[in-house]
Structures are given as structure tokens and as C-alpha cells.
Structure 1
Amino acid sequence: MSPRDIKQQTFDIISCFFEEEQNRICNRKVYESIESDGPGDDDGFDPVVIADKLRELGDDFDVKFIQPHIRKLQQAVADKAVEEFARSVDSLCAAQGAEVAPEMQLLRASMALGLYVKKTCPDLRATIQSCMTAFINTRLAGWINQQGGWDQVTMV
């Protein structure tokens, strides 16, 4: 087989590899309906079948190796996001006056920051939700409990 044939086959395989499921089914039917030009031309090459096998290899590698690394990366990003959220809230509190308790300033600033991100960056919603929960549980849970719980804090 010539290098040109391999290059063309590689192109066909990779094209099939990236196709959506419905397109793969259609292209498989198209490929199966193509008749060879003569004896010996039917070499059994089916880019759809090969792409499916390559996809299985990729899926297996994904499950065993990539997903665990991605989970570690996501946790590192989440940890960094929590730290940055806390820094931002502290900075917002520093800009406020001392007319309310520091804990209420933290709560007010964290809610305002959370609402702002929710409205302006919807793709960060889950991250901010997690950051806010971690921040409040770490920095304010004791104070909320001392106030008599959330019902008392939100009445202020």
C-alpha cells in the first residue's frame, strides 16, 4: 500500500472518528453501498469500523487515565476558586464601613458576589455555588449558629 493510500485512509478514519452517531450510521450505509471498481479493490477497508475501534480505545484510555486526572484538576481548580472567592469577599468587606458586624459584612459581600457571578457568568454557577457553600461553612457557620440559625441571621 502506498503512503498516499495510508494518508487517504487516515483522513477517512479520522473523519469518521469525529462524526456524530447519526452521521456515522449514514456514512456506513453510503460506504457499504459503494461498489469496487474491479477484482482486488475490495480490501475490506472500512473507515467506520476502524474509527469505532479507535473510539473504543480512546474511551477505555479516557476512563482509566484521563478522567482521574481531570477529577484531580477540577478539585485543584475548585480549591483555588474557593480561595479566590474568600479573598474577593474579604476585599469587598474591607471597602464597607463598620456599621454592621464583620460576619454580616462577610455574608452580605459573599451574597452580592455570588449574585453578580450568577447573573454575569452563568457557566460558573456550579463553581460559585460550591465556593459560597464552602466559604460560609468555613467562615460563618459558627456565627450563624450563635445567632440562633439562619432564620435569625436573615431577620437582621
Structure 2
Amino acid sequence: MAPKEIEFQTINIIRCLLEDISTDDRCMVEPDGAVNEDQFDPTLIADKLRELADDYDEKVIQPLMKNITQAAADQVVTAFGDSVDSLCKSWVAERAEVSAEKHLLKATIMLGLYVKRNSPCLTGAIQNAMANILNTRLGTWVADQGGWDEVASH
């Protein structure tokens, strides 16, 4: 499970990502005091994650998207998670040199953005599913890397 700070950052990153808020829009969480140069900026991370997700393969994504859109409303989160896992497995077979965590991150972001573009009515459910996957399955890894800023810089 992710530390509380990572959970909070993840939710803000996903919000910026799915609401198409970029560094130009400055989706900053209002600071309690003076602005610090090192302050966490979820828009920077969201921009990096968009770049990561840009190289998706529609031949792989289309069948996964069909599963998600055909799922009953209460099963969208499960269908999304299953689709992320399926995507990760196909990538691991092709590129074993990339860590499983990076595959999971890329699959979650890529599939989330694809669903948002093609089924905008599912954005709320997908936002929750993405935050859940990233916080429960990658939260500790993100913290071990030094936080989202460090993950995005690689």
C-alpha cells in the first residue's frame, strides 16, 4: 500500500492526466505558505505520463477496450484492472528487460487515457480504478524510487 503522501500525489496526478490539465494550466495544489521550487507539481508528472502512454498499439488496445465498455457499470473497475494485467503480460513477454512496475505504470496510464478518449462517460470510474491500481500495486515502489518526481524523471 502506498504511503499517504504518495496516495495524495497519485490522485492529483490522475486528475490532471484525465482532465487534460498540463503544465500550461498549472494544476498546482495550493501551498500553505511560500511557494517552494521543489514543491510537487502533478502537472509535470501527468505530462511525462502522457508521453509514456503515447506509443500504444490499437491492435492490442481495441479488444481490451471492448471488454471495459461492455462491462456492467459496477464491473468497470474490475474489467479495467484485468485489461491492465493482460497488457502487462503481453509486454513482459516482449520486453523482459523492463521492470514489471514500469510495465504496470505504462499499461495503467495508456489504457486509462485510451478509455477516456473513446468512452468519456467512463472517466470517473477509470480515474478511481487508475488511482487504486497505482496506489495499491505501485505505491510502495513509487515511494522506494523517491516519489513521483523521480519515477517521472526516468
Compute the TM-score of the two structures, normalised by the length of structure 2: 0.49
Bigger Cα Rg: 1
Compute the TM-score of the two structures, normalised by the length of structure 1: 0.48
More RCO (CA 8 Å, sep 6+) = 2
